Amino acid sequence: MLSTISVDLPEYPFGSVTPYCADSEGRPIIYISTIAQHTKNILANSKVSLTVLENSIESDDVQARGRVTCIGDARRLNADDTKAAGERYFRYFPSAQQYDGTHDFEFFRLDLVRVRYIGGFGKIYWVEPQEFVRRNPFSRAQELRIVQHMNQDHRDALKGYAGTDAVMIGIDGEGFDLHTAAAKRRIPFDTPITTMEEAREALIAMARRVQS
């Protein structure tokens, strides 16, 4: 849920559902049209918050789920940053690529000021941006190389990770993301990784574990 400061109703918040993914520095990236109300609000006042709710199949109690609210400023990306953001974003949301170059869609990055974390009863904290975001240890080229290799040569392993047919769409130091027919899936690593070799070893170990 993206909350912006309303232009039509000054000083009141305006909430809208907005997909997002993280950039190489772990900051939220959104892809929005200039004709949308939330974009008009952002262009008038960059102060926003993005609330992200944990997926859960164990409970339908929304308040029992973990969640974070990312508070910061929405900045329009320049041409160079747009290319990098678009490459990753469209892997996560392939259907959004049809808007590329049409309807005045543009990428914005949320430069975080503070994060509110709620992990359940008694687990409520303010978190500073440097404590929350994690830089992706893989360059654009390295991430794409891993993703393409897994999708081309290790589809059985991906199916084992997800329990169904899946496509890898992204990887970072803490885990990787899969796209299935039903939903996106986040698969965490047992311990953080920082190199290509560590990624290879972690993926092999996980594949062996799900096959046993």
Express each pLDDT in 63-103 by its tens digit.
778 899 999 999 999 988 999 999 999 999 999 988 876 66
Query: Which residue, of 78, 97, 132, is where some domain finishes?
Result: 132
Asked if 10 and 33 sit in the same domain, the reply is: yes
- What CATH code is carried by the domain that includes residue 18? 2.30.110.10
Nearest to 107 by CA among 74, 144, 73, 64: 74
Task: Show the tokens assigned to 115.
Answer: 């994060």
Asked if 100 and 145 sit in the same domain, the reply is: no
**Could you say which DSSP state residue 9 is in?**
T
In this prediction, the residues of the chain whose per-residue pLDDT falls under 70 are 56-59, 101-103, 212
Asked if 174 and 117 sit in the same domain, the reply is: no
Asked if 71 and 118 sit in the same domain, the reply is: yes
Instruction: Give the residue carrying structure tokens 């690529």.
Output: 97
* pTM as predicted: 0.90
Domains held by the chain: number: 2
Query: Which residue, of 100, 132, 164, is where some domain finishes?
Result: 132
Residue 121 identity: F
Task: For residue 146, give its domain range.
Answer: 140-211
